[in-house]
Amino acid sequence: MDDIEVRRSARTIWDYMLLGHTLEKSDCIIVLGSHDVRVAERGAELLLQDYAPLLVMSGGLGNLTRDVWTRPEARIFKDVALKMGVPENKIIVEDTSSNTGENALFSMKLLGENNIFADKVILVQKPYMERRTFATFKIHYPKVWVFVTSPQIPFDEYPNDEISFTDLVNIMVGDLQRIILYPAKGFQIHQDVPAEVLDAFEKLKAAGFTKNMIP
């Protein structure tokens, strides 16, 4: 599989993962932790644009950060938001979750403990995790109105000094595998996967992009 085919297959998965939701003003913005601080920047940007009155930073240390960072993702993300001008009293921190399901469960629990009841929520995640984030949140909170967004960065510009193109493809293949497998485990709602996306998935697996797949 040459580089052109790898890039074409990766873009197919990227495009499938993006949901393209049109955002509306909501009760809160939940920023799901990760290794990409651009996610925190997107969440802060939306708070400063008055899409919601509260920003929840969610994340302890997960698969992609526990060997890289020494502080919880949510704490690092909070610092990013503060530097962008978000008032500290508009941020609450959930810093123990280690996966997407826990991001959803622990964040909503924390909101309840603070007597904040969110019927409409904006979730902020990496672009290629929009679909899985939506599917995960909806299995736990089917009655909550959910919008998902991510850093507004095109596929070709997403890799940077911290996240290489190879890293990106490996992670996307792993995330798509979870979209396929997790509904049967009760972790996500079902998502239809088009044939061309499954074909891209199989091609990238065969090319060795399996680092982030589950056994």
Mean pLDDT is lowest, of 41-45, 94-98, 147-151, for 94-98
User: 21 pLDDT band (50/70/90 cuts)?
Assistant: very high
Give me the residue label for tokens 């507004």: 152
Query: Which structure tokens are listed for 167?
Result: 């890293």
pLDDT of 70 > 80? The answer is no
Stretch 163-183: mean pLDDT, rounded?
94
pLDDT of 178 > 60? The answer is yes
Dihedral Cα 77, 171, 62, 214, nearest 10 deg: 160
Please provide residue 53's backbone torsions phi and psi, each rounded to the nearest 5 degrees: -90, -5
CA distance 173 to 201: 6
pLDDT of 205 > 90? The answer is yes
User: 63 pLDDT band (50/70/90 cuts)?
Assistant: low
Q: Which residue has the higher pLDDT, 202 or 61?
A: 202
**pLDDT, mean over the chain:** 93
Listed residue (145, 66, 61) closest to 102, CA to CA: 61
Query: Which structure tokens are listed for 22?
Result: 């049109």
* Chain mean position to CA 68: 18
Query: Which structure tokens are listed for 111?
Result: 């909101």
User: 34 pLDDT band (50/70/90 cuts)?
Assistant: confident
Q: Are strands 91-94 and 120-124 parallel, antiparallel or unpaired?
A: unpaired
Neighbours of 47 (CB within 10 A): 25
Check residue 60 and give its pLDDT: 86
CA atoms within 13 A on the CB side of 6: 15
pTM: 0.91
In this structure, are residues 215 and 167 in contact, taking their beta carbons and an 8 Å threshold?
Answer: no
Residue spans per domain, the chain: 3-206
pLDDT of 65 > 80? The answer is no
Q: Which residues fall within 8 angstroms of residue 189, CB to CB, at 6 or more apart?
A: 135, 138, 139, 142, 183
Stretch 201-205: mean pLDDT, rounded?
97
Amino acid type, 199: D
pLDDT of 141 > 70? The answer is yes
CATH number, domain 3-206: 3.40.50.620
pLDDT of 1 > 90? The answer is no
Q: Alpha helices, DSSP H only, in 61-215?
A: 73-83, 100-113, 130-140, 165-185, 195-206
Listed residue (50, 171, 205) closest to 100, CA to CA: 171
Check residue 133 and give its pLDDT: 95
Check residue 69 and give its pLDDT: 58
pLDDT of 150 > 60? The answer is yes
Stretch 38-48: mean pLDDT, rounded?
97
